[in-house]
Chains A and B, each alone.
Chain A
């Protein structure tokens, strides 16, 4: 501090030299301070300001700020400390007024958190950051600005460390350091508990590479909120280890790790972290992949189980690193199997086949199993993606079940659920016929006439067509629709029907399937236990809930409205009659009529707590048949309820609720679905079935086709759709979906069902699933891992379209002489198969030679042989052959025997280059009218097929190509059991080079075809032009091995299934890899491709004898 002025006026006078703002601030502060200060102190205070202002041209701002904050700072600090605070500021101001300005501005916010010593150190830190440059002054200023917040979160020492870190970074880049400071100031206060760890991390990062500091901080600021509080320190220390290792950036790590952690519940996070720690120690490169698979594993497995899985993976990692890596990436069968065996979760895809057979057995029809998700996506009225249901042909089940601790119990749940759904088919819920009599009721249906619901919308606009539409509609009316038309309130009727029908099925299943009874009961008990007693239910709702609980088997403590006990008793009696053995869906319908009649008498008023009563169903003995009187009463009630027009009632209701005349009367709302029963839509299923039936050729005459408009109209007040309406934009779209589902003709803009366009999934992606028809998935062998990648390739089987028959004829004509030769050879194969076998222990007749010998032996006292018969042993040719043709792009290479050298033969290894090279080749070939490899392949095949027509052998001709593992094309030219027709011959014409060569899956698919064929000798003949090549299969030369090994594996698999594989290739460089591929299997490299047409039939004969 410079001079201490002797008096206030002296100070004031001095301040006059500076802008007025300084004096103003001085005056304002003085007024506040003067009363509580000695004159000396006041003068010291005032003089300090003057000294500040005098420092540099702009320092008057600092002085003004000093005066502004000093009164509040003085509240905290005694005068001596205050002065030292101000002096530190003065020092700063001396260096850089903006820094000092920031220093003073934070004022008391900072000083209140610092001790005397710290105060100095703190100012010193700021000063240290200032390096005399403009940028560093911003940095230092920012430091002071952010100090209060940081001091709140960090200890003083930590702040010091941070400053040290920043200092290091500043030396490299002050911009970066500034960003870091801002980020730190922003992040640290949000995660005070992890500040130490974060600082450690930053230290580690900046020590390694100062550039990553900001990224790490950014990463941390994004990641930390996703990690649960108590695991943050551990997370950061893991990141620190990553930083210390040389693998990957910390920022990326944090992003992946936090992403992974956020996917699993907090209690599972420590497990993931400790696993990651181990992985980092063992194999840091795997960490990224592990973060992808880890959450999946941990969400499927419980603690101990995950541990077991992990330990197994580690063991594998030690023994065979590649296998271990695949294991952790979840790309090995072993990993999946282990997880499956450990997990208590049951996933639908794994038990789909099992359940399909089970359901087929029970239903006696071709039931399919699919995930509820699939149905929801069809947009035909079902919206829930997890609810089990059926649409008449397929049973839809939730994709995953993890309700219980034990796998068995989860599977049991699946079984109960599918049994219930199948029961709809087995006990014919959808077979409802309006005119079919019921078993235990006096039928009311014949006495009632369905009232056609009022037409809305369309009919009003088109009065003339309405009549015609009406007629068509009548014909299309399903029995269920007709039935529900009886009720003014369809929603209530449907709810009653659903409850009664589900109850009927449950009773029936439990009676028919004694073995399932316990499990079924358990599921029902769980359902009851988990069903909340809803508050504020109205009378009708309460009674339907009562009925629902009855149907679930609850007998005691049922809640009913006290004043409707008699009605409840009546309902229970109706329910009992429906749930009797041997009842049909028509009984459910009759029951629905009765319950509806009862409920229609009851206003849907809220039932207060004190008006509720408990009801015990004491299973009073009913007479089996209802009495005349009972049914008459119901009939009258029904007639009365029917007279109310639905529209009127609704309007009335609306009016009432709007005007608030009857606040107790509530609009009816349906009960909560029973999870194991799922959604039941009898009307929709009957409609769908009817639409499907209309599609059957024989049904076309009987059922009139319905068009979309009519359908749309019919659907308009179908209550089963109400829930779905929000998701389906218009009923037109809905009608469209429904018609498509039934396989009916669609509008042209609707794409036809079938194989979709190519989808390129990432090679790093997971297993595939065969969703579309004629697609098949196969495992692929990863030789490095020594394990299969499960469901890795998707084979799409398609039939080759027909072309011209000229190709066939021309080939036959061109190879006339050769064909004759081949034909003779083949003809000779036939008699070869009859052989008379001599000296047999039994047979057709005596073998004269042997008999004579035996006689002589006997006469001469030697024991004669008893093998004295001959037998004609007809060795029946029982051969099945699959010929696999390589249709890859490389077969488009032109053959020029005279000029082409061997070196030229091998294309570039880089796929992109290779393709370009090929295209050039192809163009060139076309121009020169040369034959291509594929042409020779085709011609040879034609000759072989022609010759084969002499034999009884079963043979299939297939082509393969494809692009990527999800698009392995398998083209059928002639299927195993297909006769050699003109169609097949025409198909030969259309065999053209296509994409890449992924041999493994093609071989596996051909193997499957052979497996399904019944023959003693099975041969798989692979005709190719070169090594396997495909995206993610073999690339850049180095990856060749993978493809070769997988192909070899596929061939070995074939052989283990009693199939003889044989590879015939025209690739002259073939020997090197064929040796690996076919080690101990038959293979041949054709030196001269022109010999293929004669060689192929020759090999065929040799292989099949």
Chain B
């Protein structure tokens, strides 16, 4: 939740945060149309896939895209117009963590001078005003959050606000999207069947080299040759998943490396800081990946 307030940083209320410019997204398959259908049919969506594969980007893109085609999901009238007249649907992203409780999602009372004041949590806001509530890495959250998720993700579509003693019916445009990474789940932190069976699951994996090269080129601005090499590096490093590395290099890291290269950092050095060292602390693994880097880049 952003609460930073400085002079030149725009502070936007959570429910008013809409994606106004088209995020760059290259589909790998039919995920866009599936998501659209899910949104219309109010089917909660589970995004599976390793980190940095583009799950968040996809949600952003969908929030923008749905706003373009959907008129019903218009939030409050005044906070909605941007320069080209485009109206997105609000996107409320919550990065889940171990200590996140139901209160963090629903809201809590704050003490004010005379008495207390209720403030809505991000989930309540999405439910109240309509919008996509995106719970990133949902398995990290405390188990009590499932109490909230369950009634919202079946036919009831209601949010029980225990502390206030009320129930809120979800707005037409509300959609619950959660993500999780099956790769590093332990038995303790797996998604329960009762939860996962409330979502349609869209599986994400790293895109094929051709697509990834395009993404890297677009996002970082490097030439297509470098982008191709970065994508190749990504592919090679991902071969080491479960063979010395926990995770393969994410597209995000490839883009970082690309940005460094574009700014004049030598490719080998850029890959070292953005990929090799970012991926692992194991000296042996670092050296191995670096050898792959030096094979690919001059």
Chain B CB within 8 A of A296 CB: no
B259 within 8 A of A: no
A48 vs B284: C-alpha distance when bound (angstroms): 93
Do residues B103 and A415 form an inter-chain contact, with CB atoms below 8 A? no
- Considering the complex, which residues of chain A in the window 353-368 have a beta carbon less than 8 Å from any beta carbon of chain B? 353-358, 360-366
Shortest Cβ distance from B292 into A: residue: A361
Report how far A573 CA is from B287 CA in the complex, Å.
41
Q: Which residues 255-287 in B have Cβ within 8 Å of A in the complex?
A: 268, 284-285, 287
| Contact in complex: B295, A363 (CB < 8 Å) | no
Query: Is A994 part of the contact surface with B, judged by Cβ < 8 Å?
Result: no
- Cα of A516 to Cα of B298 in the assembled complex, Å: 7
Contact B287 A354 (CB under 8 A): yes
- Can you list 11 contacts pairing A with B, beta carbon distance less than 8 Å? A354-B291, A356-B288, A360-B239, A363-B239, A364-B235, A415-B295, A512-B296, A514-B229, A514-B296, A516-B294, A516-B295
Contacts of B111 in A (CB 8 A): 851, 868
Question: Taking the complex as formed, is B297 at the interface, i.e. its CB lies under 8 A from any CB of chain A?
Answer: yes
The verdict on A515 contacting B295 (CB below 8 Å), with A360-B240, A361-B236, A1014-B186 known, is yes
Segment 141-160 of B: residues with Cβ below 8 Å from A: none
Q: Which residues of B contact A815 (CB under 8 A)?
A: none
Contacts of B293 in A (CB 8 A): 515
> Would you call A512 and B232 a contact (CB within 8 A)?
yes
Question: A354 and B268 in contact (CB under 8 A), knowing A415-B295, A515-B296?
Answer: no
Rank and list the top 4 A-B pairs by shortest CB-CB distance, nearest first. Answer: A357-B288, A364-B239, A513-B295, A361-B236
Whether the Cβ atoms of B294 and A357 lie closer than 8 Å is: no
Q: Chain A residue with minimal CB distance to B239?
A: A364
Q: Is B101's beta carbon under 8 Å from chain A?
A: yes
Contacts of A516 in B (CB 8 A): 294-296
Docked-complex contact A515 and B243, CB < 8 angstroms? no
Q: Contact check, A354 vs B296: say whether CB atoms are below 8 A apart.
A: no
User: A514 to B298, Cβ gap below 8 A?
Assistant: yes
Contact B285 A362 (CB under 8 A): no
| Chain A residues with CB under 8 A of B66 | none
Given contacts A363-B239, A1014-B186, contact A515 B298 (CB under 8 A): yes
Bound-state CA distance A513–B186 (Å) is: 37
Identify which of A357, A517, A844, A1014 contacts B240 (C-beta below 8 A): A357
- Nearest B-chain residue to A977, judged by Cβ: B187
Whether a CB of chain B sits under 8 angstroms from the CB of A419 is: yes
Interchain CB contact under 8 A, A358 and B288:
yes
How many residues of chain A get a CB closer than 8 Å to chain B's CBs? 28
Q: List, in ascending order, chain B residues with CB within 8 A of A363's CB.
A: 239
Interface size on B, residues (CB 8 A): 28
B183 contacts across to A, CB distance below 8 A: none
Hey, which chain B residues are within 8 Å of A353, CB to CB?
Answer: 284, 288
Contact yes or no, B103 A844, CB < 8 A: yes
- Does B46 touch A at the CB level, under 8 Å? no
A518 at interface, CB cutoff 8 A: yes
For residue B244, CB closer than 8 A to chain A, the reply is yes
* Structural contact, A354 and B240, CB atoms closer than 8 A: no
> Within 8 Å CB of A846, what residues of B?
109
Contacts of B236 in A (CB 8 A): 361-362, 364
Q: B289: CB under 8 A from chain A?
A: yes
Q: Tell me the smallest distance from the CB of B141 to a CB of chain A, in Å.
A: 14
CA distance A512 to B233 in the complex (A): 11
Any A CB within 8 A of the CB of B47: no
Q: Is the CB of B295 within 8 A of A357?
A: no
Query: Would A517 and B186 be within 8 Å (CB), given that A362-B239, A363-B239 are in contact?
Result: no
Assembly CA distance A420 to B155 (angstroms): 59
The one of B101, B103, B240 that contacts A361, using a Cβ cutoff of 8 Å: B240
1/0 per residue, CB under 8 A from B, across A671-695: the answer is 0000000000000000000000000
The yes or no answer to B253 lying at the interface (CB within 8 A) is no
Residues of A within 8 A of B239 (CB): 360-365
Whether B237 is near chain A, meaning CB under 8 Å from some CB there, is: yes
For window 476-519 of A, CB contacts with B under 8 Å fall at: 512-518
Residues on the A chain within 8 Å of B294, using CB? 515-516
Q: How far is the CA of A364 from the CA of B284 in the complex (A)?
A: 18
Given A415-B295, A514-B229, A515-B297, output 17 extra A-B contacts at Cβ < 8 Å.
Answer: A354-B284, A354-B291, A355-B288, A357-B240, A358-B291, A360-B240, A362-B239, A362-B292, A364-B239, A365-B239, A366-B243, A514-B298, A515-B294, A515-B296, A516-B296, A517-B298, A868-B111
The docked-state distance in angstroms from the alpha carbon of A954 to that of B268 is: 42
Return the CB mask of A952-996 against B: 1 if under 8 Å, else 0: 000000000000000000000000000000000000000000000
* A361–B240 CA distance with the chains assembled, in angstroms: 5
Chain B residues with CB under 8 A of A512:
232, 296
Enumerate chain A residues within 8 angstroms of B291, measured Cβ to Cβ.
354, 358, 415
- For residue B244, which residues in chain A have a CB less than 8 angstroms away from its CB? 357, 360
Residues 1006-1048 of chain A: 1 if any B CB is under 8 Å from the residue's CB, otherwise 0? 0000000010000000000000000000000000000000000
- State A929–B243 Cα separation when bound (angstroms): 52
**Cβ 8 A contact of B288, one of A354, A364, A365, A844:** A354
Determine the chain B residues whose CB is within 8 A of the CB of A355 once the complex forms: 288
Residues on A with C-beta less than 8 A from B186 are 1014
Residues from chain A with a CB closer than 8 A to the CB of B232 are 512
CA distance A1014 to B292 in the complex (A): 29
Task: Please name all residues of chain A whose beta carbon is closer than 8 Å to the beta carbon of B229 when the two chains form the complex.
Answer: 514
| Closest A residue to B243 using CB positions | A360
Question: In whole angstroms, how far apart are the Cα atoms of A626 and B236 in the complex?
Answer: 34
Determine the chain A residues whose CB is within 8 A of the CB of B289 once the complex forms: 357, 361
B271 to chain A, nearest CB (A): 10
Closest Cβ of chain A to B163, distance in Å, is 8
What A residues does B292 contact at CB under 8 A?
A: 358, 361-362
A303 CA to B298 CA in the complex, in Å?
34
Residues of A within 8 A of B296 (CB): 512-516
Q: Quick one: which of B109, B268, B288 contacts A515, CB cutoff 8 A?
A: B268
Most buried by A among B239, B284, B298: B239
B285 touches A357 (CB 8 A): yes
- For the complex, give the distance between the alpha carbons of A355 and B284 in Å: 10
**Minimal beta-carbon separation of A399 from chain B (angstroms):** 20
Instruction: Report yes or no: A518 in contact with B101, Cβ–Cβ below 8 A.
Output: no
Interface centre among B232, B285, B288, B298 (most CB of A within 10 A): B288
- Min CB distance A757 to B, Å, is 32
From A353, A358, A364, A365, name the one whose CB has the most chain B CB atoms within 10 angstroms: A358
When distances are taken between beta carbons in the complex, the residues of chain B under 8 Å from A354 are: 284, 287-288, 291
0 or 1 for each of B5-38: is its CB under 8 Å from A? (1 = yes): 0000000000000000000000000000000000
Query: Which of B235, B291, B292 has its CB near the most chain A CB atoms (within 10 A)?
Result: B291
Q: Is the CB of B243 within 8 A of A419?
A: no
Contacts of A362 in B (CB 8 A): 236, 239, 292, 295
In the complex, what's the smallest C-beta–C-beta distance from B232 to chain A, in angstroms? 7
CB of A213 to closest CB in B, whole Å: 57
Distance in angstroms between the alpha carbons of A517 and B232 in the assembled complex: 16
Nearest residue (CB) in B for A357 is B288
> In the bound complex, how far is the Cα of B239 from the Cα of A366, in angstroms?
9
The distance in angstroms between the C-alpha atoms of A125 and B288, with both chains bound, is 76
Residue in A356, A361, A419, A518 with the greatest tally of chain B CB atoms within 10 Å = A361
How far is the CB of A521 from the nearest CB of chain B, in Å?
Answer: 12
CA A364 – CA B237 in complex, angstroms? 9
The CA-CA distance from A514 to B297 in the complex, in Å, is 6
Interface residues of A in 859-905 (CB under 8 A from B): 868
| Cα distance A363–B295 in the bound complex, in angstroms | 13
Q: In whole angstroms, how far apart are the Cα atoms of A362 and B293 in the complex?
A: 11
Measured in the bound complex, the distance between the Cα atoms of B284 and A592 in whole Å is: 41
Contact between chains at B237 and A357 (CB < 8 Å): no
Residues of B close to A518: CB separation below 8 A: 298
The answer on a CB contact under 8 Å between A361 and B298 is no
CA distance A851 to B116 in the complex (A): 12
Q: Point out the residues of chain A lying under 8 angstroms from B287, CB to CB.
A: 354
B284's partner among A357, A360, A415, A851 (CB-CB below 8 A) is A357
Please, what's the 1-or-0 string for A802-842, where 1 marks a CB less than 8 Å from any CB in chain B? 00000000000000000000000000000000000000000
Q: A415 to B285, alpha carbons, bound, how many Å?
A: 16
Of the listed residues A360, A366, A518, the one surrounded by the most CB atoms of chain B closer than 10 A to its CB is A360
